[in-house]
Amino acid sequence: MRIIKQLVVGVLLCFIFSSQIQAMEEISNRVYVNRASTKIVSGIANIATGWMELPKNINLWSQRDSNAVIGAAEGLLWGVFHTAGRTGAGVLDFATFWLPTYPTPEPLFVWDDFSQDSDYIGWRTAR
């Protein structure tokens, strides 16, 4: 009898809280096609141009540090990290282009803002 009461309470709790679950935005066909095409194009571009993070980060870190050798070394390490990150994000976006989310890297392409550090924010559905 105790198990049945717990089951009934669990089911009732599911029904009580299910009314508060709703989608954050309406995904229309136009929005879906736009996001899917953006993800597939950015995925292919980031796979092909992920290596550009290496010179970008060497340049950024050399400008930030007063010692050019230390800046270049830090830039090389961060460049390898961001090269792997952008290429991996491109593979992820290419593989999941059918999900209506925004692409992972910020900025979207490596050449969008060459003076900005790259960031990888996963599974954003709205901006």
User: How large is the average pLDDT for residues 25-52?
Assistant: 83
The maximal CA–CA distance of the chain, rounded, in angstroms, is 75
- CA–CA distance, 58 with 18 (Å, rounded to integer): 51
Rg (CA), the chain: 22
pTM value is 0.67
Tokens of 24: 């954050």
Return the structure tokens found at 5: 């009461």
CA 39 and chain centroid, separation: 10
Q: What is the pLDDT of residues 4-30, one digit of tens each?
A: 887 777 776 666 655 555 555 566 777
For the chain, domain boundaries:
33-126
Q: Is the pLDDT of residue 47 over 90?
A: yes
Tell me which range, 46-55, 57-66, 103-112, is most confidently predicted by mean pLDDT.
Answer: 46-55
Q: What is the mean pLDDT of the chain?
A: 80
Alpha-carbon distance of 127 to 111, in angstroms, equals 21
Contact 101, 121 (CB under 8 A): no
Segment 82-100, tens digit of pLDDT: 899 889 888 988 998 888 7
